[in-house]
Amino acid sequence: MNIKNTLHYLGKAVLFGLIMAAIFLLATSLFNGGNGNHGLLQPASHDGSELSFAKAVRRAAPAVVNIYSLSIDQNRPLNSSSLQGLGSGVIMSKEGYILTNYHVIKQADEIVVALQDGRKFTSEVIGSDPETDLAVLKIEGDNLPIVPINLDIPVQVGDVVLAIGNPYNLGQTITQGIISATGRNGLSTGYLDFLQTDAAINAGNSGGALIDTRGELIGINTAAFQIGGEGGGHGINFAIPIKLAHSIMDKLIQHGRVIRGALGISGEALSPVVAQILNLPDTKGVLITGIDATGPAAKAQLMPKDVIIKYEGEEVPGVEMLMDRIAETMPGKKVMMTIIRQGKPQEIPVVIGEKPVSNG
């Protein structure tokens, strides 16, 4: 009887242990996302690779160069103190084209490019675009490192990013953060074009690379948010999206400058009140508020209070889209615009002009 009781209790203990083990295994599986690869909480591997961005850095960093803009003063000896506008750049092709910021090189008499492998080159300025603060340089060299690019991957708020550059001429440095906000990719100007990140972009990082965790270029670092006379340090930094930067680079290589279309208007978004006054069905479109007397719009007899609702058959949701489409249109091209004038739609042909080049 004692043996039977003992076996009975042992059986209960074993069964209880098996049940608890099963519950533990199930809970662990659920907590780790159902498998060993995609859980909410993953143990680090032996080399810690899950928590490292070293592979991404190794892919991109060799193509990020240090740029020294050298200003020559005939009244002063040429030495290291002649270096000004220290910044960064990114090698974009095997032909030696380098993207950087216009403000890095605009005062330079000679530009020296230093690679991470120790090589140094003097460079040629292929073209610059003050409106987007971009410039293209060219160096002659063999086996140049090229930054990985994928123009088809969208950047999303919350993506982890790394900024690579040469802050304060300390040497190549990597900072990490996330995408805080994204903008659009067009040729018109303004902060709406920028990627916002909290990855540190200090003096000297300008023109450097903003990459994702795959090591692919997503932007060109350009500015830190400033208040009054303060410097950066607010965690609000900006980079030019790679689609826009790549488009500008192609135009600079082809023409030496960026050719932008112009319509010769000023406009604003429609408010519900204005839409009601003008007897419009909704608030889509752009209300013309001013006309350049010598511009293409005046020649096409567009008038203030006209509302542009379509550009080349494409609906116009707001000012930014319209200005981008105009800027992207080659000067001399005739385009068809749909407007509403005094409550009635009209088709107006307009020959797009060329926007004057800014001198920075």
Alpha helix stretches (DSSP H) within 233-356: 242-255, 272-277, 296-299, 319-328
pLDDT in tens, 119-168: 999 999 999 999 889 999 999 999 999 999 999 888 999 999 999 998 88
103 is annotated as an active-site residue: yes
pLDDT for 357 equals 73
Token pair belonging to 21: 């083990």
3-class DSSP assignment, residue 54: helix
CA-to-CA separations, 162 to 65, 217, 359, in angstroms, rounded? 16, 10, 32
pLDDT in tens, 302-338: 999 999 999 999 999 888 889 989 998 999 999 999 9
Of residues 185, 178, 235, the one with CA closest to residue 210: 178
CA-to-CA separations, 63 to 18, 93, 118, in angstroms, rounded? 57, 10, 12
38 is annotated as an active-site residue: no
The DSSP symbol for 149 reads B
pLDDT in tens, 3-18: 555 556 656 666 666 6
Q: What is the distance between the alpha carbons of residues 282 and 303, in angstroms, rounded to a whole number? A: 20
pLDDT in tens, 285-296: 999 999 999 999
> Among 72-76, 88-92, 107-111, 252-256, which stretch is predicted with the lowest mean pLDDT?
72-76
State the catalytic residue, choosing from 129, 133, 193, 212: 133
Percent of the chain at pLDDT exceeding 90: 54
Q: How many CB atoms lie within 10 A of CB 273?
A: 9
Top pLDDT among 172 and 359 is at: 172
Q: State the pLDDT confidence band at 202, using cuts at 50, 70 and 90.
A: confident
Token pair belonging to 17: 């242990």
Mean pLDDT, rounded, for 200-204:
85
Q: What is the distance between the alpha carbons of residues 90 and 115, in angstroms, rounded to a whole number? A: 10
Checking if the pLDDT of 259 tops 70, the result is yes
Q: How many CB atoms lie within 10 A of CB 268?
A: 13
CA-to-CA separations, 194 to 44, 91, 150, 274, in angstroms, rounded? 35, 21, 18, 30
State the catalytic residue, choosing from 69, 88, 103, 306: 103
Question: Is the CATH number of domain 261-354 2.60.40.10?
Answer: no
Give the CATH superfamily of 54-138: Trypsin-like serine proteases (2.40.10.10)
pLDDT for 129 equals 93
Top pLDDT among 46 and 159 is at: 159
Checking if the pLDDT of 254 tops 60, the result is yes
| 8 A C-beta contact, residue 157 and residue 217 | no
CATH number, span 160-245: 2.40.10.10
Do domains 54-138 and 160-245 share one topology? The answer is yes
3-class DSSP assignment, residue 17: helix
Q: In sequence order, which residues have a C-beta less than 8 Å from that of residue 241 and are 6 or more positions away? A: 155, 182, 183, 185, 193, 194, 195, 218, 219
Q: What is the DSSP secondary-structure string of 150-175?
A: -TTSPP-TT-EEEEEE-GGGS--EEE
Token pair belonging to 357: 């080049």
| pTM to 2 decimal places | 0.74
- Host H or E run for residue 347: strand 344-351
3-class DSSP assignment, residue 142: coil
Q: What is the distance between the alpha carbons of residues 113 and 135, in angstroms, rounded to a whole number? A: 14
Q: What length does the chain have?
A: 360
128 is annotated as an active-site residue: no
Q: State the pLDDT confidence band at 174, using cuts at 50, 70 and 90.
A: very high
Q: What is the distance between the alpha carbons of residues 269 and 196, in angstroms, rounded to a whole number? A: 24
| 8 A C-beta contact, residue 95 and residue 138 | yes
Mean pLDDT, rounded, for 264-287:
87
Enumerate the domain spans of the chain. 1-34, 54-138, 160-245, 261-354
Q: State the pLDDT confidence band at 210, using cuts at 50, 70 and 90.
A: very high
- Taken in order 79, 80, 85, 86, the sign of the CA dihedral is positive
Mean pLDDT, rounded, for 247-264:
93
pLDDT for 242 equals 94
3-class DSSP assignment, residue 213: coil
